[in-house]
Amino acid sequence: MKASIFIATSLDGFIARQDGALDWLPADGGEPHGYDEFIATVDALVIGRKTFETVLAFDTWPYGSKPVVVLSTRPAALRAPAGAVCEVMTGTPHEIVARLSARGMKHLYVDGGVTIRGFLEAGLIQRLTITRIPVLLGNGIPLFGPLSHDVRLNHVATRSFPSGMVQSEYVIVA
């Protein structure tokens, strides 16, 4: 099983304002920067409950028919929107990966700050693609946080875009 991160951050490393707002992201996602190509390679998304609640407020469910696993310690409280292929799970990152692997899934897209940090700490992420938006927010919800050990990465590529977005791709050293 491989798990990847594909996420946008402010230049100072935040994925949302403290209240969860994403108004600082470019309208319509900015110029094409590989998201469609990336999501086509994943078998399922694994997202945190707070990210789920954010996307529920969008006008349309953004994941189409791609399976989405929402992590929550209170699974009974969540309801999937009509038409979404969506289920709620609770468990450690290792348990989640084992369950999805047993279904034949081979590539997961892990999203949401707390969720990503849990999978990183557990050594379950192989690839990170981080698109930095040229804005400083000062505070907000961070992408990274404390770790019990260093995580070493190999740099794969960095691309810049006319809007000022800078995207860096890394693989984690096994």
Ligand X SMILES: NC(=O)c1ccc[n+]([C@@H]2O[C@H](COP(=O)([O-])OP(=O)(O)OC[C@H]3O[C@@H](n4cnc5c(N)ncnc54)[C@H](OP(=O)(O)O)[C@@H]3O)[C@@H](O)[C@H]2O)c1
Interface with ligand X by CB under 6 A: which residues? 7-8, 15-16, 20, 22, 48-51, 54, 71-74, 90-93, 111-115, 118, 141
Q: Closest-CB residue for ligand X?
A: 48
- Indicate the residue among 4 and 115 with the shorter CB distance to ligand X: 115
- Indicate the residue among 111 and 152 with the shorter CB distance to ligand X: 111
- Indicate the residue among 145 and 173 with the shorter CB distance to ligand X: 145
Neighbours of 37 (CB within 10 A): 9
Q: How do strand 68-71 and strand 44-48 relate by DSSP bridges?
A: parallel
- Indicate the residue among 51 and 67 with the shorter CB distance to ligand X: 51
CB of 98 to ligand X, least distance (A): 13
CA 1 to chain centre: 16
- Indicate the residue among 17 and 173 with the shorter CB distance to ligand X: 17
CB of 22 to ligand X, least distance (A): 5
CB of 164 to ligand X, least distance (A): 16
Residue 147 contacts by C-beta under 8 Å, 6 or more apart in sequence?
120, 121
- Indicate the residue among 71 and 128 with the shorter CB distance to ligand X: 71
Compute the distance between CA of residue 68 and CA of residue 46 in angstroms, rounded to an integer.
6
CB of 84 to ligand X, least distance (A): 16
Question: Kind and range of the H or E element at 76?
Answer: none
Compute the distance between CA of residue 24 and CA of residue 134 in angstroms, rounded to an integer.
10
Q: 5 in helix, strand or coil? A: strand
CB of 93 to ligand X, least distance (A): 6
CA dihedral (40, 48, 115, 15) positive or negative: positive
CA 78 to chain centre: 19
CB of 156 to ligand X, least distance (A): 19
**Residue of 16, 9, 92, 3 whose CA lies nearest to 51:** 16
